[in-house]
Every structure is written in structure tokens, then in C-alpha cells.
Structure 1
Amino acid sequence: MDNEKAPAEQLQHQEHAQASTEATTAPSQSSNDTAVATQARSPWPMRLGLLLVTLLAIAALAASFWLYQQIQQQQLQNQQLQQQIVQAQNAPTQQLQQLSQALQTQQQQLGDTQNTLQKMQQTEEQLGTKVAALAQRHPNHWLAAEAEYLVRLAGRKLWLEKDPQTAVGLLKAADERIAAMQESSLVPLRRAIAEDITAVSEIKNADIAGTVYALDGVIAKLEKMPLNRLQQQDEPEADDQQVTTSLSDWRTNLAKTWRALKDDFFTIRKVSTDVTPLLSGKQEWYLEENIRNKLLQAQLALYQYNELNYRQSITLARKWIQQYYDLEDSSTQEVLASLEALASLKLDAITVQQFNSSKQLKQLVTYGNLLPNEEVAP
């Protein structure tokens, strides 16, 4: 009995446990359904909130960027204002510096002007002293100044113009001025002038101007001279070449026939001068210009007192004329004779470097008399 009750109790116990389990699981299922319903309704507000947050964040970033630009512009404006303030503060300083520099420049100019005025005053005083000294000098002082000028002019004629003859005349004129002073203390000066006259007189004088004019005459005759051309022999007359019909003239006819055959194949001419090729018109012009150029070079060598170049130019011009022009023509013979005479011109070198009287004349003009050797300024 007891064993039969036990299974029944166990069945009841199991049913009771199953009922409690179902009762327990029923509320949990209802809560899950509520959660699912809640999750189904929640996404739209959350998305809207997220959108609002994003928009607020973008607006905040834009506002921050705008504020940053405003701050940067404000800083640039502040910097510009600071620079303007600094420039406004420095402007008076720069103006003061410029004014001080201008004042210094004006002071320097004033100092230079004062120095110039002082120099002018000193020069004026020196001139006054010299004028007073000249006023106290002997009237012969002007003769000494004229003699010094003549000696300087003689040096110019001798060394620049290569004219020793005129230089001698000027030195003699200077000696006449010194002699007119009639002072025994000037004997050394006259002795020095005499030495200068002797030294210049020893230079052989060449007529430079006359030689140049003679060369001009030769140049003018170049166009009139004929070239050396080959002359053709006269052709025999036609009557002399005809053969006669007489038998007695067979020797003459044979000679005429041989002469005709020879003239057809050979031309024989006798030339007494050197054979030179005939020149064309252009070549003739070049030849004439080359000869003229050499004669002009000879003139330039005369002015330079260069005897070597002078002779070489004359010699080459004569050679070309003898080679290319007709030597039997009278114009050619006159030109060759003139060039031969001109080639004999001699140009002596000027060995006089300075005049002995120049230093003493300078002493006489400056001090009014000749100084001893130990007092002469270097």
C-alpha cells in the first residue's frame, strides 16, 4: 500500500512542479514581448538626436573657424597698426638724421669754399708780390721773356716740325734780344745760345716742303704716262705677195710662196725691250694707285724724318714704272729722272735733345738775373 501511494505522490509532485514552472515562464515571455515592442519604437528618436548632435557639432566647427579667421584678421590689423606706429615714431628720427647729414654736407661745402677762398687769397698775394717784383725790375726783363719764348719756339720747329733752318733763325733772334740788354752778367747765357746755334747749324737742312711738292708733281704725271705695249709689225702689202706668170720669176715666185706659207703658220716679231704682259684696264688702275700710294708714303716718311722708308718707297715706285710703262715716252723719262733726283735726298738725324740756354733763360725770367750753379733749384 505504501508502495502504491509513493508513485502517486511522485506524480502529483511532478505535476505541481510543472505547473510552477509554467507559471514562472509566463511572466518572462511577457517581459520579452515588451522589450521587443520597445526596441521597435526607439530608432527614430535616436536618429533624430544623433542628427541634431551632428548639426550642432558642424555649427560649432564653423563658428570656431569663423572666430579663428576673425582673430587672424584682428592680429594682422594689430601688426599693421604696430608697424604704422613704429614708422610714425621712426619718421622724426630719420628726418633728424637727414637734416643732420645735410647740415654736415653744407658745413663741408662751406669748409671747402673757405679753403678755396684762402687759396685764392694766397694766389692773389703771390701775384701781387710778383707784380711788385716785376715793377721793380729792369725794363730789360721783357726782353728776357721774349728771348725765352723765341728759344721755346725754336725747339718746337726743330723737334716737332723737323725744320733746323728756322730753328737757327729763332735762336739768333733770341741772342739779339739778350745782346740788346747790354749786361755783362749775361755773357754765360749768350755763350750757351751760341753753342745751341752751332749744334743746330750742323744738322744738314733738307727741303722737306720742296720735296713734297716735287712728289706731288710726279703723282700728277702718272695718268699721262703710257703703258709698255707690244707693237705689231706692219703687214706686207698684197701686191708683194702675188705670184707672176713669168717663168723667169720662178725664184721670186717660190720665195713669195714660201713666205705666204710661213706667215700662215708662224708669226715672228722682234721686240727690243723686255716682254711684259699687257694689262687690262682694271689692272692698270691698280698699278697706278699702288705707285701713287708709294709716293704718298714717301711724303709721310719725309714729315716723320724717316730716311729709310722714304728711300724704299721711291725705289719701289721707280721699279714699277720701269717695268710696266713705256720707257721711250718723254713723260715716263721725266718722271724717272725726277724720282732719281729725289732718291738722293739725305735726312740727317736730329741729335740735339735740348738747348743749353733754356735753364739760364728760365732763371733770368724768374729771378731777374743768373744764379750761381749751387743756387739753382732742381
Structure 2
Amino acid sequence: MTEQESTPNMSVTVPSAAEPIPSAAPASPLAAPRQPRQWLAGVAILLLIATAAGAYVYDNSRQQQQRELIHQLELRLAALQEQQPGLQENDKQRQQQILNLGTEQQHLADKQGMLEKQLLQLQSRRPNDWLLAEADYLVRMAGRKLWLEHDATAAQMLLSEADNRLRDLNDPSLLPLRQALAKDIAGLKELPQLDSEGLVLRLGALIDNVDQLTLLGLNANQNTPSTPVDAPSEDLADWRSNLGKSWHAFTDSFITIRRRDGQVEALLSPQQEWYLKENLKTRFLQAQLAIYREQQAVYEDNLTKADKWIEQYYDPNDATTQYMHSEIARLLEQAVSVSLPKQFQSQTQLEDLVRQRLQHLAAE
């Protein structure tokens, strides 16, 4: 707002240059409002100058920021230009890898087609090959049953099942293999059958009878003549005679002296007798263990020593002693080990046949 607009009704008279200005003239009443007007004009001028300066500074700042931004963009552009050859090389490598993957994919597709054709061929031959492989597995299991478990019966059954599989093949070229299987089965049938459980139970019965044995000692029957003694009467009046008869009978039997001809064995103490019986039981237990381990020599040695001890220390006329002697004699006649064949004749032939079939399938 200008001065004229703030005071529209007031007129200002400006003195001319020709008129002298009184130096000490008194201030007129109209000169007082001029100072506030000058102050407002100065403030307005200062505001204009500050605004112009601020606009200049702001414009310079924006220009500086724009220059810095342009410089950063130029640096980035230069960096991208430097990276462009490497990116182009990477792009070429990726394209080459894509081509290689496409080639490998084609190879895999071709290989998959070949495998599918082979699978179709295998499926068409699967029944015969499966039966042949099953026969080989049964023969292997028969060998394990025979040599690891010593079970000839189970081995014979497994060999018979393997022969049934070869029979189902209905292949004349397998006749030599079936003949070898028949020989193996016949060899197993000729093996003696061991009743290991029965022998162990019979030895257990001997162990139970050890405590019933009668120790040999001075118990022989000796018939000595006895002097007749008058029996006391039942009449109370004869008490004196009865007392005398009883006294003579007591004194006659108080000390008895008997004679025995021949060699007399020393008696065993109760502790020694207990040790003897425990040693006998141990011999029978070791014989049982030898049956499970098929150790013929150990089995016979323990039974022989037990029989010798019974004969030496126990009464031969006792029924238990006679039973144990006869039972030990029968047990010594039993065999606890069998000579097994070292290998099946059919096993090698069957393994070679299976290997040839597999090689033929792989070649196709």
C-alpha cells in the first residue's frame, strides 16, 4: 500500500528550491505522520530484498542439486556402459546353456524311449526270468539252512520247491540242472535223522535220577545167627524174672562184633557225596551241550566218565544204578553229528545260468 492510498484526503505541499527553508522554524503539525510512512516503506523494501535474495539462493540450490543429480546419472550411465560387455557375455553364455540344456533334454528323451522299449521286452520275458531267479534264491536259502542251522529237512524242502519252479519253466535246456537238483535232494534224504531234542530229554531224565542213587558202603546183607531170648511174661508177679530177661537182652546186644571177608572201600563223607552228584550232573549237562554243538567226541567222553563214576561209587544192585548204566549204554550208541555235503551240485550251474540270462538281457 502507498502513501497516497493510506491518506487520500490529505495534500502535501513540496517547497520549491527557490524558497528558503527556515532552519529553526517550528515543526508544523502536519509533519508528524511522515516518519511512520518512511518506516513502512523501508520495511517493504527490506522484505522485497530478502525475498529476492531467498529466491536467488533457492534457485542456486536447486541448480546445484540438479547438477549433482546429473553428475550421478552420468556416473551411473558410465558404469552401465562399462558393465554392458560383461552382461552381453553373460547373455551369450546363458543362451549357450539353454542350447546345451535343449540338447541334453533331447538325449534324455531318446534314452527314455530306449528304456521304455527295453522295459517292454523285459515285461514280455518276466515270467520265465522271475521263476529262474526264484529257483536260485531257494537254492541259496537251502544252503543257509543246511550249513548254518544244520536243518537238513528244511533244506530238502527248499530244494524241492526250486525244482518245482524249474519244472514250471517247461524248458528242455534245464534238464541237466534238474538232474543236479535231484542228486542234491537224494543226498539230503540219505543223511541220518538226528533226534537232538529226544537225546537232550533223555539226559535230563538221568540228571533227575542222580539224587536217587544209593552210595556204595558197608551195607552188605549179613545174616548172623541170633540167640533165642525168652520173651518177658505178661504176669505182674514175674516182674523179677522179666527184669532179668530184659537186662540180659540189653547186655547181649549192646556191643556187636561182625566179621566181613574181602576188600572194603572207604566211605564218602556227606560233603564228598554232594560234590560227586553235582559232578555227575555237570557231565550230563556237558553232554547235552555237545548235542547242540554236534561234538561227538565231547558227548561220548562225558557219558563214559559219568558211567565210570556210577560204577565206582554207587551200589550196583540198586535199581536206579542199573537203569542209569543201561540208559548211558544206549545213549553212547547214538550219533550227534552228521557229515554234511560241502556244496550243492546244482548251485553253481544255477548261478551261471542266471548270470548268462542277465548278460543277454543287458546286451539287448
Matched, 1:316 2:316: no
Selected match of 1:296 from 268, 274, 285: 285
Q: Contact between 2:287 and 2:300, CA under 8 Å: does it hold in 1?
A: yes
Give the aligned partner of residue 177 of structure 1. 165
- The CA deviation at 1:316 is 1.0
Read off the aligned partner of 1:202 and give its amino acid letter: E
Q: Contact between 1:158 and 1:167, CA under 8 Å: does it hold in 2?
A: yes
Q: 1:181 to 1:213 in 2, by over 3 A?
A: farther
- The CA deviation at 1:313 is 1.3
Please give the alpha-carbon distance, in whole angstroms, between the structure 2 residues aligned to 1:338 and 1:166: 31
Read off the aligned partner of 2:126 and give its amino acid letter: H
Give the aligned partner of residue 205 of structure 1. 193
Tell me the secondary structure at the aligned position of residue 139 of structure 1. helix
Q: 1:351 to 1:230 in 2, by over 3 A?
A: same
Q: 5 Å matches for 1:136-285?
A: 136-231=124-219, 233=222, 237=226, 239=228, 267-269=258-260, 275-285=264-274
1:2-22 Cα offsets, whole Å, 9 max, x none, are xxxxxxxxxxxxxxxxxxxxx
More helix by share: 1
Please give the alpha-carbon distance, in whole angstroms, between the structure 1 residues aligned to 2:332 and 2:159: 31
- The CA deviation at 1:236 is 5.5
Please give the alpha-carbon distance, in whole angstroms, between the structure 1 residues aligned to 2:145 and 2:171: 29
**TM value normalised by structure 2:** 0.52
- The CA deviation at 1:146 is 3.4
1:128-176 Cα offsets, whole Å, 9 max, x none, are 99x9476443324443343333322322332223333443333223222
Q: 5 Å matches for 1:24-39?
A: none
Please give the alpha-carbon distance, in whole angstroms, between the structure 1 residues aligned to 2:123 and 2:215: 75
- The CA deviation at 1:220 is 1.9
Please give the alpha-carbon distance, in whole angstroms, between the structure 1 residues aligned to 2:149 and 2:180: 23
Identity %: 39
Q: Which runs of 5+ in 2 are unaligned?
A: 1-111, 231-251
Read off the aligned partner of 2:326 and give its amino acid letter: A
- The CA deviation at 1:291 is 1.4
- The CA deviation at 1:336 is 1.9
Please give the alpha-carbon distance, in whole angstroms, between the structure 2 residues aligned to 1:156 and 1:207: 20
Q: What is the CA RMSD across the aligned residues, in angstroms? A: 3.7
Please give the alpha-carbon distance, in whole angstroms, between the structure 1 residues aligned to 2:341 and 2:169: 27
- The CA deviation at 1:341 is 0.7
Q: Contact between 1:360 and 1:370, CA under 8 Å: does it hold in 2?
A: no
Q: Which runs of 5+ in 1 are unaligned?
A: 1-124, 242-259, 372-378
Read off the aligned partner of 1:151 and give its amino acid letter: V
Q: Contact between 2:196 and 2:336, CA under 8 Å: does it hold in 1?
A: no
Please give the alpha-carbon distance, in whole angstroms, between the structure 1 residues aligned to 2:150 and 2:142: 10
Please give the alpha-carbon distance, in whole angstroms, between the structure 1 residues aligned to 2:318 and 2:359: 67
**TM value normalised by structure 1:** 0.50
Please give the alpha-carbon distance, in whole angstroms, between the structure 2 residues aligned to 1:228 and 1:283: 13
- The CA deviation at 1:305 is 2.3
Matched, 1:361 2:350: yes
Give the aligned partner of residue 39 of structure 2. none
Q: Contact between 1:163 and 1:205, CA under 8 Å: does it hold in 2?
A: no
- The CA deviation at 1:209 is 2.3
